Amino acid sequence: MPVSKFLRVNTATREVKFEEVPEKYLILGGRALTSQLVFDEVPPTCNPLGPFNKLVIAPGMLSGTNAPSSGRMSVGGKSPLTGGIKEANAGGIASQKLANLGIKAIILEGKPQGNDWYLLKVTPAGAELIPANDLAGKGTYEVTAICRERYGPKVAVITIGPAGEMLLPAAGVTNNDSDGNSSRYAGRGGLGAVMGSKKIKAIVVDSPTTFDAPLKEAERFKAAARKFTQILQEHPVTSKGLPNYGTNVLMNIINEAGALPTRNFHFGRFERAAEVSGEKLAEIAVARGGKATHPCHPGCVMRCSNIYPLPNGKVCAPIEYESAWALGPNLEIDSLDVIGQLNYLCNDYGLDTIETGVTLGVLMEAGVIPFGDGEAAIKALEEVARGTPLGRIIGSGAATAGRVYGVTHVPVVKGQGLPAYDPRGCKGIGVTYATSPMGADHTAGYAVTANILKVGGYVDPHKPEGQVELSRDLQVATAFLDSTGFCLFVAFAVLDNPEGMPTICDLISAKYGISFTVDDALELGKRVLKAEREFNLKAGFTSADDRLPEFFKLEQLPPHNTVFDVRDEDLDQVFNF
């Protein structure tokens, strides 16, 4: 297998070839690489489901090494949901395997004729397209199980579900964890539909190694990796909060702060939040023989995932905080078992749980389903796999559902549903939602850190002052972190430890044999954002797209009775680096 190559697949001609990596991309990875390739190769005004869009899958700059928690993978393309550039990030085992095979990125391009589906098989011997009509129509769990049986229990399976095959704009791209659970999603933005448009049902990655990606300065790298592990193990969030209760430890915290979006963003608190919290999840999961915490990829020291056994014998691994919120308090559902069932169906059908939950909230707003009716929500979601009109509406996202049913209370930015923090109760995240090139995306600049968790300083979540600067700095830093392969949660420790960023830069320097400084890291983050912003501008976006829905300015959010009052002219200054 060649070292550091692009694997380019023309799905129209079925040509599969390896290419030398041009110098401008050599040290890039993750989001920096996917966004730059999309910027360079995809016409901004193209149809996201047409022949000119491309799907780029890239391991992070440090993926495939023993740097702790560095196995994240980026998936990029033009989004069918937002109409702009998109990067979605996932854990799982695929990123490390791709990096160990020397694959800098997989680029799926073109658009095939006909209805035949294919599987891309990648091994140390090379890559080939294999007919896969027998996998068409199957859910991601079954596809992953079949591929692991055929190609070995240690392979990574990147796949889409029926939603991606139907080209639904809320479809994601998943890969499996070490246990074979098909639930590590690059969920946001509809990139599963882009993969479906290329008629690629699955990508199987078979690598005999996990942590053997080449290092220019091995001893220096090992020392920096040990130091960074220590930094993560010394911070209370990354060493106790996440390892004990996973991401859903946030449920009670955000609820107490009055920023938990409830009943389709009408309230900031859910009186039954404790019933769907991380503490409750851990209690039930362990009692049923599951796991309160679990690593989504090898080498993760935070282990913030979980394994939740359902009453029907199936297992949902994991129920993350955003999923628990979207399918729980957002819908006034207070049962983890119902949430787990909805989450499992989303995973199997290949749907983004956040977008799906927000869409169900809009349908409840419209009276199609009663708020709090878990069984009705499950029945509605099952329509997606059947391809019925209601199912296709759900799979098309919240903005579409709002237009179909005449609902104005629709929490989306750039067509993408808002995640689990109300911007009136956490105004820094509101700035991120409004201005990120990705559409509403909490991970693009996680201002919850300083607004609510008091990590990396404190900015009052209820006042407009300081929110633009907070979001700007975090968006720059996050664009860099998303490029490294590190889990975003390392940011908790990095923000509070002055040695955090220099240690990450030391890891990059040692891996690539270069001098990479903190200034270089921030410059890379800015470069990523500039490319993404320019793509969106060329696609037709304006400052009007960098706004929250007007009801956030007009409707007060209980219990603090706040509105989103960061001025439009200030939002337009976010990218004045």
Q: Which residues pair with 19 in a beta bridge?
A: 6
535: its two tokens: 């793509």
pLDDT in tens, 5-47: 999 999 999 999 999 999 999 999 999 999 999 999 999 999 9
Looking at 424-499, list the stretches that DSSP marks H as alpha helix, in order from N- to C-terminal side: 427-435, 448, 467-484, 490-496
Predicted pLDDT at 221:
97
Residues, the chain, total? 577
- Neighbour tally for 498: CB within 10 Å: 8
In the chain, CATH 1.10.599.10 sits at 215-245+423-577
Written out in words, the top-level CATH class of the domain with range 277-419 is mainly alpha
CB atoms within 10 A of CB 283: 14
Going residue by residue through the chain (577 aa), what tens digit of pLDDT does each one get?
Answer: 446 899 999 999 999 999 999 999 999 999 999 999 999 999 999 999 999 999 999 999 999 999 999 999 999 999 999 999 999 999 999 999 999 999 999 999 999 999 999 999 999 999 999 999 999 999 999 999 999 999 999 999 999 999 999 999 999 999 999 999 999 999 999 999 999 999 999 999 999 999 999 999 999 999 999 999 999 999 999 988 888 888 999 999 999 999 999 999 999 999 999 999 999 999 999 999 999 988 999 999 898 899 999 999 999 999 999 999 999 999 999 999 999 999 999 999 999 999 999 999 999 999 999 999 999 999 999 999 999 999 999 999 999 999 999 999 999 999 999 999 999 999 999 999 999 999 999 999 999 999 999 999 999 999 999 999 999 999 999 999 999 999 999 999 999 999 999 999 999 999 999 999 999 999 999 999 999 999 999 999 999 999 999 999 999 999 999 999 999 999 999 999 8
143 CA to centre of own chain? 21
pLDDT given for residue 241 in this prediction? 83
Peptide bond into 464 cis (omega under 30): no
Computed from CA positions of residues 342, 348, 352, 356, in that sequence, does the dihedral angle turn out positive or negative? negative
Spatial neighbors of 28 by CB under 8 A, at least 6 apart, are 36, 61, 483
Which amino acid is it at 188?
Answer: R
pLDDT of residue 3: 65
pLDDT at residue number 1: 42
Residue 297 tokens read as: 């990829």
Which residue in the block uniquely carries the two structure tokens 């919240």?
398
pTM of the model: 0.98
Distances from the Cα of 138 to the Cα of 135, 314, 348, 391, 465, angstroms: 6, 17, 9, 16, 50
pLDDT for 240: 86
What SS3 state is found at 128? strand
User: What is d(CA 237, CA 253) in angstroms, rounded to the nearest whole number?
Assistant: 13
Residue 500: CB partners within 8 Å, gap ≥ 6?
Answer: 228, 231, 490, 493, 494
Q: Which fold has domain 215-245+423-577?
A: 1.10.599
Q: Give the span between the Cα atoms of 141 and 150, in whole angstroms.
A: 14
Any residues with CB less than 8 A from the CB of 302 and at least 6 apart, and which? Answer: 69, 232, 238, 242, 243, 295, 487, 489
What integer pLDDT is reported at residue 565 of this predicted model?
98
Write down the CATH number for the domain with range 5-205. Answer: 3.60.9.10
Q: Taking the chain, what is the end-to-end CA distance rounded to the nearest angstrom?
A: 41
Q: What are the respective helix, strand and coil percentages of the chain, to the nearest 5?
A: 45, 15, 40
Residue 59 pairs in a beta bridge with 73
- The C-alpha atoms of residue 417 and residue 439 are separated, in whole angstroms, by 8
**How far is 374 from 328, CA to CA, in rounded Å?**
9
Strands (E), 83-217: 85-90, 103-109, 118-123, 126-131, 156-159, 173-176, 182-186, 200-205
- Cβ atoms of 248 and 466 within 8 Å: the answer is no
Query: DSSP code of 238?
Result: I
Residue range(s) in the chain whose domain bears CATH number 1.10.569.10: 277-419
Residues of the chain with CATH 3.60.9.10: 5-205
Query: Nearest CA to 449 among 253, 240, 248?
Result: 253
Amino acid 190 reads G
Contact of 31 with 76, CB cutoff 8 Å: yes
